[in-house]
Amino acid sequence: EPEVTQTPSHQVTQMGQEVILRCVPISNHLYFYWYRQILGQKVEFLVSFYNNEISEKSEIFDDQFSVERPDGSNFTLKIRSTKLEDSAMYFCASSGRPSSGYTFGSGTRLTVV
């Protein structure tokens, strides 16, 4: 069964550093998403991406965050200057069409120290 692949599985970074989280969505999917889950809390929406542009973003997704689909297969989330409160599990998801639901990756655990 097709999978969404995320790398790395765990990343530790110092506060103020830039991080890039990588995702390879399912190849024929058109909609891409990033979510995050702070330990013990709900899964929260960050951003959705369709047709090479952001279609929706949450209040969390401020100027420190950006997304890119650089080469037609990867989908990346960049955090420019990490803060302690950015520590969370970050999930990438993709969808072929809105009615087909999401497929999630296994996540990247980001720890900011």
Partner 1 sequence: KQEVTQIPAALSVPEGENLVLNCSFTDSAIYNLQWFRQDPGKGLTSLLLIQSSQREQTSGRLNASLDKSSGRSTLYIAASQPGDSATYLCAVGLSNTGNQFYFGTGTSLTVIP
Q: Which residues bind partner 1 (CB under 8 A)?
A: 6, 30-31, 33, 35, 42-45, 48, 50, 55-56, 58, 89, 91, 93, 95, 97-107, 109
Closer residue to partner 1 in complex, CB, 31/82: 31
> Among 102, 29, 36, 22, which Cα is nearest to 68's?
22
SS (H, E, C) 31-72: EEEEEEECCCCCEEEEEEEECCEEEEECCCCCCCEEEECCCC
What is the smallest separation between the CB atom of 16 and partner 1, expressed in angstroms?
26
What is the smallest separation between the CB atom of 48 and partner 1, expressed in angstroms?
5
Q: Which residues contact 99 (CB under 8 A, 6 or more apart)?
A: none
What is the smallest separation between the CB atom of 31 and partner 1, expressed in angstroms?
4
Closer residue to partner 1 in complex, CB, 40/70: 40
The rounded distance, in Å, linking the Cα atoms of 11 and 1 is 27
What is the smallest separation between the CB atom of 90 and partner 1, expressed in angstroms?
11
